Structure 1
């Protein structure tokens, strides 16, 4: 081999050694990078595992602390998991023995259970389902169920349900319905009784009134002034008693007789009342704004405005009497006011005047029932009533009626 060939081989060997060292350096650098990446990956895995464990623990806590019974079952109705509330409600514990949904259904409910479970599988949800069950202690209960299908990648794998015991609630609802039925019957009987009593009481009063008049006429020249005054007092008392009987009958009728509701033009209604009511010459009635049309019972609404306006007129003691009627829109309700410049009412009586038989002025024209009727009518139209008043200045009654 010539010297020239030897030199070529030496140079090739040197290049190979240099390339190998370069490759070793590159491999060493990549190995370091891989090691660092591996360390980071391992750290991330540990962190992810910790998060998953924490999340699973949290979910388990949620599962166990749901107030209502929570049940998970397979698509055949076999119970897979249940929380403590479910164990307490049903009496069954799937951690000790396997059981199926049908095992706790009431025998009368088997067909409904099968139909509802089929609907759940088809629709994916089941809501407001009521079911009679038999607990392991053989106690019959009524439960409310909301259920849904659990999916994995679009495929149904299980079902879950929230079960609530409504046995007591249902029992209370039945009692409520019975009480309402009984109350309605009692109200009807009371209404009928009120009409009978009203008729039976008025008849002897009219007879007494007639007898008093006959005695007065037959003895006109024989009776002194005191006796005639006593007879007048008897007649006044009889009139008041008859009015009281009529008012009691009216009060008992409000709410008992439900008339057909209609659209009532309150502006026209109050205009008509102004021509019907006795309004002294020194009293004026002003409607400040156009009153609305509302849905209600016309007769009762007329009673409402008539009572309040006539009351306002009755207790005006000024030389110039003013009665104002106004309204404003409160959204869901209209708010009305009827204001006068009469004798006023002391604040200590404001809560009492709406009570039946409570009157502040002992007169033959007042039985203490008018404002009780007013409040009852306002209540029937889902409103409120209150007043503002100052003695010797006047009174303003406010009331609301639902639109």
Structure 2
């Protein structure tokens, strides 16, 4: 130290400058490294947390789809039909006059249709509790498609683990089984399988049996649509140790099943079991991870699926290491520049003369520059003067902002007394500035809050940054006249003069609260309106259809009982009666469909245009002499299958139904435009006069008598409502001569449905 002090002043200044540059460079490099590392880790926490939530939502949606499929099957008419026919004395369903075999074939058809749309499902079964849980209907997914199993091949499943909870099922609860290999006749047959069990009850509310969905567990996870970004990996683990990993850059994921040879536990199994990564980023096995747990079933042996998203720590820290290298290089260059500049400055600056000139100048503000020599000392003094003027301008500017800001601004000392208040503050509370300065801030609060305010001040000594109050609760201030005003308050702490001070910004939110109350009232009214519409739909679906079915049945019985005495006229009248009943049922069905559009979400899967065209050909009941031509342009699109299939099917059937000749030609075309697809359905029928173009899209409107055209008058109304809800549009072009063209614009991203309450 003494050797340094003995150096000349010039050398000491150079050494001091270089040492300062070195320390600054080291601190800057370290700060940059830890700052970038911390920000990268925080960003990775947000990124992986969002990914974990997204992928767990996809996994939940996949499980929910199985639940929905099982519930839909249990609600099918064939399920109670089998119950009634199997429990009757003669094996016949008295209600529908169908025997057990007929109901069995109908349910097999339903199972086959579901399996054809669910590639992950390997088997659908309807198992009765009688005869040791004997299978009543079973359809397997095979290489050639769904295959029904009958006769002696149907098995008793009483020994299966997923049927060991009869009390749980009798309470109406569903469950997912543990993942095990599929077994047939007691032997392993098929891949590791996840089973979902849906209880089914008879008319007396007693457990009759279950609907069981078997799914290839690996294929089910693949169908969830996990799409990890580059460098990230998604892992799904079960309680039994099974695990499957998905990554963007790897081959298709494979299941590591605990009963397979060569199986090894996941390196993340212990971390997942301990809950690591659930709430914040965790470091596990050289990776940063976030995790989520999905409880699929709560039976005595619950199934829990754990999802984990991870990325290597090296990828997160790469940016910090790069920042450290950059700042180290910059610091080295800075030190070199400081040394060169210090050499030149120290050689040219007369320090003693400058100090004397500044002492003679007196005050640091308003230098008398005429007393200084015309050299570098004058320049330094001039710089000091400019700095003083800048500080004065900044002070005046800050004062102007403080005076003109529309929100109330108040500063408070550590004892809770007001130090300053702007005009907006005095206007907000009705006090003058003199009345506020020095007064306790508690006088601006209701008595209950003012009594607790000293404790708030003590607790705020650790406050860092800006804290917003009243974000989720009602905070009110008390004016001079005693009235209360709702406020939004933000408080910040600053240190000045060796003590803590606080600045508060207060905003009157009276108008916001009134707007929120008005919005809440409108939302409540809308909710009531939707609930009333749901109730109407429920009545239309159940209470109105029941009398129609009775009329149809009674008319059939009358025709059978009175067959010997019926005339042609009475037979025609009975036929007309049943026709009107069926028309009324179709009208109710179409009315329900129309009411649900936009309020209940349709399950849809993305299909190619080729699949869409094939589906339309299969569903259209085309007369022998009529031709349906579908453009090759369909092969170039991919679109969700619902509700576009319903819309196009309605338009094609409409063209067939209203054609005036047995032979005709219907053309279906599509073109992709900016923002969506443009579908056209063109026919060579009788055409529609322009004066009817708006009328045809209204409810219950037909251009021909109902006895000539069998329909509810809702088909085009349903089409238009689907289009408008999705953000598209439907147009018709026809001059009243031959031919009509309907043009449907369908957006790439249709607006989602807004489900409300119960669906009928």
Calculate the TM-score normalised by the size of structure 2.
Answer: 0.39
C-alpha displacement at 1:206, in angstroms? 1.8
From 592, 607, 611, the counterpart of 1:265 = 607
Between the aligned partners of 2:607 and 2:454, the Cα distance in structure 1 is 55
- Alignment partner of 2:727: what SS? coil
2:542 corresponding residue in structure 1: 196
1:365 lines up with 2:710 in the alignment: yes
CA contact (8 A) 1:126 1:148 kept: yes
From 323, 330, 335, the counterpart of 2:667 = 323
C-alpha displacement at 1:245, in angstroms? 2.2
Written as runs of structure 1 = structure 2, the 5 A alignment for 1:117-128 is 118=459, 122-127=463-468
Between the aligned partners of 1:324 and 1:378, the Cα distance in structure 2 is 17
Cα distance 1:186–1:241, how it changes in 2: closer, same or farther (>3 A)?
closer
1:399 lines up with 2:707 in the alignment: no
Between the aligned partners of 2:399 and 2:723, the Cα distance in structure 1 is 54
Between the aligned partners of 1:129 and 1:300, the Cα distance in structure 2 is 45
1:4 corresponding residue in structure 2: none
Written as runs of structure 1 = structure 2, the 5 A alignment for 1:66-215 is 66-74=405-413, 76-97=415-436, 98-106=438-446, 107=448, 118=459, 122-127=463-468, 129-130=470-471, 131-136=474-479, 137-149=481-493, 158-165=502-509, 166-176=512-522, 178-179=524-525, 181-183=527-529, 185-203=531-549, 205-206=551-552, 209-210=555-556
C-alpha displacement at 1:336, in angstroms? 3.9
CA contact (8 A) 1:149 1:156 kept: yes
CA contact (8 A) 2:416 2:457 kept: no
C-alpha displacement at 1:262, in angstroms? 4.8
Q: Root-mean-square deviation (CA), in Å?
A: 4.8
C-alpha displacement at 1:185, in angstroms? 3.8
Between the aligned partners of 1:357 and 1:113, the Cα distance in structure 2 is 71
- Alignment partner of 1:144: what SS? strand
From 728, 737, 750, the counterpart of 1:384 = 728
Between the aligned partners of 1:250 and 1:32, the Cα distance in structure 2 is 89
Written as runs of structure 1 = structure 2, the 5 A alignment for 1:274-313 is 274-280=617-623, 281-287=625-631, 288-290=633-635, 291-294=637-640, 300-313=643-656
Between the aligned partners of 2:616 and 2:454, the Cα distance in structure 1 is 63
Aligned residues: 357
From 563, 567, 574, the counterpart of 1:220 = 567
Between the aligned partners of 2:503 and 2:713, the Cα distance in structure 1 is 65
Between the aligned partners of 2:567 and 2:719, the Cα distance in structure 1 is 43
Between the aligned partners of 2:652 and 2:415, the Cα distance in structure 1 is 73
- Alignment partner of 2:605: what SS? strand
1:243 corresponding residue in structure 2: 586
Compare relative contact order (CA 8 Å, sep 6+) and give the higher one, 1 or 2.
1
Choose between structure 1 and 2: higher helix proportion: 1
Cα distance 1:168–1:93, how it changes in 2: closer, same or farther (>3 A)?
farther
C-alpha displacement at 1:278, in angstroms? 0.9
Between the aligned partners of 1:354 and 1:228, the Cα distance in structure 2 is 36
Between the aligned partners of 2:435 and 2:672, the Cα distance in structure 1 is 69
Cα distance 1:208–1:398, how it changes in 2: closer, same or farther (>3 A)?
farther
> Unaligned 5+ residue runs, structure 1?
1-30
> Unaligned 5+ residue runs, structure 2?
1-367, 751-760
Between the aligned partners of 2:457 and 2:697, the Cα distance in structure 1 is 54
- Alignment partner of 1:402: what SS? coil
C-alpha displacement at 1:33, in angstroms? 6.9
C-alpha displacement at 1:307, in angstroms? 1.9
C-alpha displacement at 1:275, in angstroms? 0.8
